[in-house]
Amino acid sequence: MTLPTPGFSFRVGAHDGSARCGVFETPRASIETPAFMPVGTQATVKALTPEEVASTGARIILANTYHLWLRPGAELVAQQGGVVGFMKWPHALLTDSGGYQVFSLAKHRTIDDDGITFRSHLDGTEHRLTPEEAMRIQALLGSDVAMVLDECPQGGAPRSVVEQAIARTTDWTKRGLRVPAAEGQARFGIVQGGIERDLRLSHLQTIAALEVDGVALGGFSVGEPTSAMYDVLADIGPKMPADRPRYLMGVGTPSDLLRAIACGIDLFDCVLPTRNARNGQALTWGGRVNLRQARHRDDQSALDARCDCTVCTTYSRSYLRHLFKAEEMLGPRLLSLHNLHFYGALMRKAREMIRDGELGPWTRATLAQMRDLDEIVGFQG
């Protein structure tokens, strides 16, 4: 299926219930879906080189419009070939719109129907972000996919607040789409609605009717109960447009990903694998491993016997624990590489299971194993 923007296409190759696997083509990359996008907030996936990120199987990453707008500046990035030229990432890139900062930087902004006024978290200077400005910045950043500006309400917000966020997001989407598209840049719309199913469905219909190349679900994993998110995804996911990529924004435990894949989601991003790595937590086929625990002091076994990444085939748990206890920077680097490799492997296996028609049994068995062997209280399986 050719998407509205020239040079982009999306095709589905197999279904298993509501789950599907396919290929999202951009001018820079061919992305097999379901796919996980590592987060490179400031034109870097923390602790890793672009070559290391690519070695995990990733062919698209995410960069943050708000942060690059403030530092080093979109114009400077544009002079150096956009984000991909600036950071030397040779594959596809998606940029968010800055809308998530409406939620995460609430103390530093004011919002009205026209846009958002931020006080920089760096130096306190004032900046104005409108739907039009968000598209201008992302054109300068040169991403393959630009997200329209949206308003992301806090999880559990009153229905009236969610309705206001939907109205603003709809208006901002239409305004952003009126800005001429940058060459080689697709644009995705964002559906809001919290965990209010009727609002989600109504907004989905509104956004899907617009000339967008893909449809994203925003406003999840912002404080709502995980079980409520799963329930809404089960309703909404299968009803998203079949002919365009479906993207679940900012959600990402292994359980989240596998459950959302079963609902028909194609694309994901989350800081969790690299953030947890910096704190000494590995994500494995046997659940989470806390390398700071004393049990790993003398353990010469691999971090994950089922993983073929260079970390697992080279280093022992004992050595990895030593790096964290000694506060050596190699520890977070190696664990970040492993965690992203694991997420890439999880996506590849999910695609295989969809093609084989075995996603459901495999997901149940995989999550049961992760839950049973998990080292940290609170596994969501």
Domains of the chain: 9-270 (3.20.20.105), 280-373 (no CATH)
| Ramachandran region, residue 245 (left: φ > 0; alpha: ψ -120 to 50; beta: rest) | beta
Put simply, whether the predicted model's pTM sits higher than 0.75 gets the answer yes
What mean pLDDT comes out for the span 117-145? Answer: 95
Strand partners, 94: 62, 145
Alpha-helical (H) ranges within the chain are 50-55, 65-70, 74-79, 82-87, 100-104, 131-141, 159-178, 197-208, 226-236, 254-262, 272-278, 310-314, 317-325, 330-356, 359-373
| pLDDT of 180 above 80 | yes
pLDDT tens digits, 265-315: 999 999 999 999 999 999 999 999 999 999 999 999 999 999 999 999 999
Q: Is the peptide bond before 72 cis (omega within 30 degrees of 0)?
A: yes
Which of 16, 36, 3, 9 shows the shortest CA–CA distance to 247?
Answer: 36
| pLDDT of 380 above 80 | no
| pLDDT of 102 above 90 | no
The percentage of residues in the chain with a pLDDT greater than 90, rounded to a whole number, is 92
For residues 33 and 132, give the distance between their C-alpha atoms in angstroms, rounded to a whole number: 30
For residues 265 and 285, give the distance between their C-alpha atoms in angstroms, rounded to a whole number: 21
pLDDT tens digits, 39-73: 999 999 999 999 999 999 999 999 999 999 999 99
What mean pLDDT comes out for the span 192-198? Answer: 97
| pLDDT, the chain, mean | 96
Task: Please give the pLDDT value at position 379.
Answer: 75
Is 208 within 8 Å of 153 (Cβ atoms)? Answer: no
pLDDT tens digits, 316-333: 999 999 999 999 999 999
| pLDDT of 381 above 70 | no
As annotated, the active-site residues are 96, 269
What mean pLDDT comes out for the span 122-139? Answer: 95
| pLDDT of 342 above 70 | yes
| SS3 per-residue string spanning 230-296 | HHHHHHHHHHCCCCCCEEECCCCCHHHHHHHHHCCCCEEECCHHHHHHHCCEEEECCEEEECCCHHH
